[in-house]
Amino acid sequence: MYDKLIQIWKARDLRNSIFFVLGMLVIFRLAAHIPVPGVDTVALKDFFASNQILGLMNIFAGGGMANFSIVMMGVGPYITSSIIFQLLAMIIPKLEELNKEEAGRQKVNMWTRWLTVPLAVLEAYGMITLLRRSSHLILGDISAFNLFTMIITVAAGTVFLMWLGELMTEKKVGNGISLLIFAGIVSGLLQTAQQVIVTFDPSKLYVILGFLAIALITIVGVVVVSEGQRNVPVQYARQIRGNRMFGGTSTHLPLRVNMAGVIPIIFAISVVIFPPMIAQFFIHARTAFIAHAAEWTIGFFQNQLVYAILYFLLVFAFTFFYTEVIFHPTQIAENLQKQGGFIPGIRPGRHTSEYLANTTHKIIFVGALFLGIIAVLPLILRYFTGIQSLTIGGTSLLIVVSVVIETVKQIESQLTMREYEGM
């Protein structure tokens, strides 16, 4: 490890890139503590503390929502825009073709940036409207001009973070957007640790130690599942062309346990958050039926048992759905057959496709079960420990560990490239 650190320090350009990324993260954290004028921050924090759904959104926004900062929406609109174009690429052949070329990917990235702006404006308007209609007197009466200014400021904050993320990505020491989410989550974990230290109760020492053990086991599990894969052996037939022989080599086809990454959890969060968020707008409706329906919807999703079961089932289902969308056994089988490749003991063509589909379903079942458990881990800890401050999100751990692994791999690849260049 120390040898790697010495190599990083000696590589001037890599060292400067890492310092640049750290500087951008510091700027992001400073921006997260710059509030938009005209907001009662104390009432705002109380409102977020009393609302589980908004508290979950605040975690992914890096705590910016609870401060009503200029970057309160985080990179959420950009992620939503990226997911939209990923789904469109799966159903629109032209977009799929564009993603296969460098110039096409640049066009899609540009369209993603443009779509981020109206999404940021809409989400900012929705959040501000929700706070205006709350009973905590967070915003009160504001003029149309002040409302417009707030929306533009918050939307500009999202565009600013998107720009920071792309600047960091260009340094090739990790994905910039992922690093911004990582920084926000880590800052929340530090605040949680500080709260535990301040409110430390010696009688709950064993509970805290047990929690730390569970957190350590979770981290190990995340690493194992994230890096786990099934290697399917592939043999290529020998081909003789003239006086030369081609093929006859053996390789493998890697099938990852968690192909979908954290996408199913993001989808599930969106589905779980959407109904109570909409219901918040109608809780003070003049029609009694609509108001009661809104209250029932909010109460339904606030129920811990219902929330946990629904969240788990959605994550489990979305894992299978997203894997089916991105993994095409029939196409892989056709490509293997065209290249003269085959799986030992399996006939090429339809039988290979069925074998890959069945194998993938078995592997993904384990990955989906793992993601579902990770998603509801905070609720399980809260039920058994009864300590609210120890409800660290399993999703947060998954994202943190995944980002760290990705960043370390990119740094190691750059070090390896420099070793080859020095030979």
How do residues 374-412 score in pLDDT, each as one tens digit? Answer: 878 777 776 666 555 444 566 677 778 878 887 888 888
DSSP 201: -
Q: Residue 1: helix, strand or coil by DSSP?
A: coil
**Tokens, residue 308:** 């946990």
Least confident range of 184-188, 272-276, 307-311: 272-276
Per residue in 33-54, pLDDT (tens digit) is: 888 877 766 777 667 666 656 6
Per residue in 215-270, pLDDT (tens digit) is: 788 778 778 887 788 888 888 776 656 566 555 677 788 888 888 777 787 777 76
Contacts of residues 87-92 at CB distance under 8 Å and 24 or more positions apart, as own/partner, are 90/325, 90/326
Quote the mean pLDDT of the chain. Answer: 77
Residue 79: alpha-carbon gap to chain centroid: 8
Per residue in 171-214, pLDDT (tens digit) is: 888 788 888 888 887 777 766 666 667 766 677 677 777 777 77
Q: Return the pLDDT at 63.
A: 62
38 Cβ contact partners less than 8 Å away, ≥ 6 residues apart: 139, 142, 146, 150
Question: pLDDT exceeding 90 applies to what percent of the chain?
Answer: 2
pTM: 0.75
Beta partners for residue 254, in sequence order? 231
Looking at domain 11-198, its CATH class is mainly alpha
In this prediction, residue 314 has a pLDDT band, given cuts at 50, 70 and 90, of confident
* Model confidence at 106: pLDDT above 80: yes
Residue 407 main-chain phi, psi, to 5 deg: -65, -45
Per residue in 292-301, pLDDT (tens digit) is: 888 888 777 7
Q: Return the pLDDT at 6.
A: 77
Beta partners for residue 341, in sequence order? 236
Least confident range of 71-80, 161-170, 199-208: 199-208
Report the C-alpha gap between 183 and 60 in whole angstroms: 10
Report the C-alpha gap between 217 and 227 in whole angstroms: 15
Strand ranges, E, within 321-419: 341-342
Q: Return the pLDDT at 242.
A: 58
Is the separation of the CB atoms in 176 and 166 below 8 Å? yes
Q: Return the pLDDT at 114.
A: 92
Give the H/E segment covering residue 229: strand 229-236
Query: Can you list the alpha helix ranges (DSSP code H) found in 133-175?
Result: 144-170
Report the C-alpha gap between 399 and 411 in whole angstroms: 18
Q: Return the pLDDT at 160.
A: 92
Q: Beta 341-342 vs 239-241: how paired, if at all?
A: unpaired
Residue 249: alpha-carbon gap to chain centroid: 38
Question: pLDDT exceeding 70 applies to what percent of the chain?
Answer: 79
Q: Select the more confidently predicted residue: 418 or 1.
A: 418
Report the C-alpha gap between 298 and 277 in whole angstroms: 8
Question: Residue 38 to residues 22, 121, 138, 142: CA-CA distances in angstroms?
Answer: 31, 19, 9, 9
* Model confidence at 65: pLDDT above 80: no
In this prediction, residue 423 has a pLDDT band, given cuts at 50, 70 and 90, of very low
The whole-number average pLDDT for the span 283-304 is 77
